[in-house]
Amino acid sequence: MLLNKLIPFIFFATVLFIPHILLGQDELKNPLRVGSPNKLNFANRTAETPIIESDFPGGNVVIDKVFGDTIFFKPDLRDTPREWFYWCFTVKSTSNKKWFFKATKPNVLTNLGAAFSTDGGYEWNWIDQENHLGPDLFSFKFSGDGKPVMLSMGMAYTQKNFDKYMLKHKNSKYLRKSVLSTTRAGRKVEQLLVSNFDSEPKFRVLFTARAHAGEMMSNYIIEGMLDALTSNNTRMDQFLDKVEIMIIPFLDKDGVEQGDQGKYRSPRDHNRDYSGESIYTSTKAIREDIPKWIDGLPWVGIDLHNPWIKGENNEWVYFVGNEDERISAAQENFVNTLIRTQQGPLTINSKTGFLAYGTAWNKGSNYEQGYSFSKWASGFLGEGLIMPTTLEFPFGINNGQLVTQEKARLFGKDLIFALSEYIEGQ
């Protein structure tokens, strides 16, 4: 009797899941990756087989094979010698059916599965959780209209997103855009100045982002900060009367546009390029130009990052503690200010909001390749530096709260309001 009851289940599991875990059939001899035509095109394709592409800004994938209704994929690591998790590709399907996507490397999906966009990567949503079938497996039902659906491990953000966003600020009296440096590939690394330019600043603040190309959530925080700063809010106007803020939205501009991981880039990534001779134009420019820009004024430096893809220390907002006790105390003071003043839906708390030096990954061994931004900035202690710090903002989940583009923007608003109060107390 028990066997009879189990037969339907066994049949269902065989039909649904076996094709998603088999690895030995119908493999592509040359897995598809950026730099190739990036279109799924092999001998046994059918009319139902979707077209998969990654030859667009921010695109990244290696398609290992297609088996039945399942696409086997993994991130393209390129010049990153360690395993990492960024991927982003489009799927065009003319069949009204569900396709399964099986990652052939572990830890490349968040605990929400994948994100998707139907408008070319401007508006993003997480897949329905009923389609998140396991740590390495998700499905997506296509309408069959042949229009591209973008799938990614997170809510991808590239130059086109930034350009569209900046249109709303093209006439802002508070905002000026210029160029920090030009990359090896000839791309411009933007720098934004935000202030009331009719008054002389008494403080300066530097924000950097995308030192690791795949860490896109930082840009939504920047959008939220800029929205708040240019909102004609009385508090923000008073803040800008005495503070000049520089924001560098894409430190690794080439990596962002090429769809690189950025993290652990060989021989070292941008956030280990602040000692010795810098090998990237943007970090070199920061080291050479920022001290001149600061010009002896009190200043704060905040480097915006996203952590590993999921799990402990990766699914909540936190700031990274400095090894210098004086700086660490200043950082904790700022974290407490943010906790006390926050208004948005994504919260930070005293239990998880500060990762002290010597805890988890935040140890000296993590900086053997070179100085990070925060380590470099710490060298200005006693020369006007108030506080350097690193913010880690999660991709999908924050203390059990769902992370979205808009919620990240609202966190950016909270961040800049907290900073205004923090500087007011200096």
Catalytic residue numbers, as ranges: 392
What are the beta bridge partners of residue 62? 74
Structure tokens at 148: 């591209």
Interatomic CA distance for residues 357 and 26, integer angstroms? 49
Residue 192, both tokens = 């934004």
Q: Tell me the pairing of strands 243-248 and 203-209.
A: parallel
For residues 166 and 171, give the distance between their C-alpha atoms in angstroms, rounded to a whole number: 10
User: Residues with Cβ < 8 Å from 386, sequence gap 6 or more?
Assistant: 203, 298, 299, 300, 330, 423, 426
For 220, residues 6+ apart whose C-beta sits below 8 A from its C-beta are 155, 157, 405, 408, 409, 412
Residue 99 φ then ψ, to 5°:
-115, 150
Q: How many CB atoms lie within 10 A of CB 168?
A: 12
Rounded to whole angstroms, the Cα distance separating 208 from 55 reads 27
- Using DSSP's 3-state secondary structure scheme, residue 72 falls into strand
